[in-house]
């Protein structure tokens, strides 16, 4: 799918007219129409803004945008120690323009699921800054046990975290936030995947100042906050989005 097709498809999925999308990114409606028809190519900055408004990652190949996580998490819990930045403010502006946030940056009642979904899309687990993939084998719970014994701070997320909160769809991909990736890998006996290898894996993501906030303990295991787990499940793979839906009560468990 080329950029023109991607924009057109996402616009329709968001139930926006070309005129509405144009108003959100401050261009003429004919500009959106011509972009979707492949008659003109948008500048990189305009393409970024359009994709951001439509809920897709800002960049085409870059890392996940942690500022989006910060804006989304604060929208649900303003008590979180979220640092103010231009990036966070830009996400608040974008999401306010499409009715997800109010003027104060808080989530609009009834739009909670939409905000969590969009945050997951722009901060996908596969693109988190500093993340390291290891060979599959141990479960997230097994790794958590090893980290607890070694005194390494951590938090489960993704499908493993979802299962602790409510879902029981199994574990496709063990993902944990950790204070120190090298220490955590050593404590759990993880073997790093070679470059260019694919397939099942375990992923460790370093604390980023946002994703590890609000951790709790369930059955003796430290897990990321419910909102963060939902964001991460939406930004995951396979059936993880379904598990996010379950936690939101959008599907029967």
Q: Which residues contact 249 (CB under 8 A, 6 or more apart)?
A: none
- Vertex 56 angle, CA 215 and 192, to 5°: 55
Note whether 179 and 208 are within 8 A (CB).
no
Domain ranges across the chain = 3-53, 126-247
Q: Which two tokens stand for residue 177?
A: 């936030």
Give the percent of the chain with pLDDT over 90. 53
- Crossing angle (nearest 10°) for helices 3-13 and 44-53: 30
243 vs 57, residue with greater confidence: 243
Note whether 111 and 102 are within 8 A (CB).
no
Q: What b/e readout covers 18-53, taking b as 16+ CB neighbours within 10 angstroms? A: beebbebbebeeebbbbbbeeeeebeeeebbbbbbb
Q: Which two tokens stand for residue 76?
A: 């649900």
CATH of 3-53, one of 1.10.260.40, 1.10.600.10, 3.40.190.10, 3.90.550.10: 1.10.260.40
- The model's pLDDT over 183-228, given as tens digits with 9 standing for 90+, comes to 999 999 999 987 655 567 899 999 999 999 999 999 999 999 999 9
pTM here is: 0.78
At residue 170, the pLDDT reads 75
Q: Write down the CATH number for the domain with range 126-247.
A: 3.30.460.40
Q: Return the minimum-mean-pLDDT range out of 25-39, 161-175, 188-202.
A: 188-202
At residue 60, the pLDDT reads 42
59 vs 132, residue with greater confidence: 132
Note whether 162 and 240 are within 8 A (CB).
yes
Report the chain's mean pLDDT, rounded to a whole number.
87
At residue 61, the pLDDT reads 46
Instruction: Round to whole Å and give the CA distance between 237 and 89.
Output: 28
Q: Is the pLDDT of residue 68 over 70?
A: yes
At residue 83, the pLDDT reads 82
Q: What b/e readout covers 145-182, taking b as 16+ CB neighbours within 10 angstroms? A: ebbeeeebbbbbbbbbbbbbbebebebbbbbbbbeebe
* Banded model confidence at residue 25, pLDDT cuts 50, 70, 90: confident
Q: Is the pLDDT of residue 30 over 70?
A: yes
Q: Which two tokens stand for residue 99?
A: 């009715």
């Amino acid at each position: 799918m080329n950029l023109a097709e991607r924009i057109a498809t996402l616009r329709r999925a968001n139930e926006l007219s070309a005129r509405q999308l144009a108003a959100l990114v401050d261009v003429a409606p004919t500009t959106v129409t011509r972009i979707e028809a492949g008659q003109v190519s948008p500048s990189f900055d305009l393409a970024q803004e359009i994709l951001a408004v439509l809920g897709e990652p800002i960049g085409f190949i870059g890392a996940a945008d942690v500022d989006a996580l910060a804006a989304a998490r604060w929208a649900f819990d303003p008590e979180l120690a979220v640092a103010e930045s231009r990036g966070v403010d830009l996400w608040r502006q974008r999401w306010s323009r499409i009715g997800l946030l109010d003027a104060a940056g808080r989530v609009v009642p009834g739009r909670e699921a939409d905000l969590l979904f969009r945050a997951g899309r722009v901060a996908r687990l596969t693109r988190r800054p500093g993340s390291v993939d290891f060979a599959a084998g141990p479960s997230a719970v097994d790794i958590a046990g090893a980290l607890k014994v070694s005194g390494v701070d951590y938090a489960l997320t993704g499908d493993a975290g979802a299962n602790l909160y409510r879902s029981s769809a199994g574990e496709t991909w063990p993902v944990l936030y950790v204070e120190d990736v090298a220490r955590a890998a050593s404590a759990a006996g993880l073997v790093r995947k070679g470059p260019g290898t694919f397939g099942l894996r375990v992923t460790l993501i370093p604390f980023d100042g946002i994703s590890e906030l609000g951790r709790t303990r369930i059955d003796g295991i430290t897990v990321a906050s419910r909102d963060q787990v939902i964001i991460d499940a939406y930004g995951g793979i396979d059936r993880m989005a379904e598990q996010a839906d379950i936690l939101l009560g959008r599907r029967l468990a």
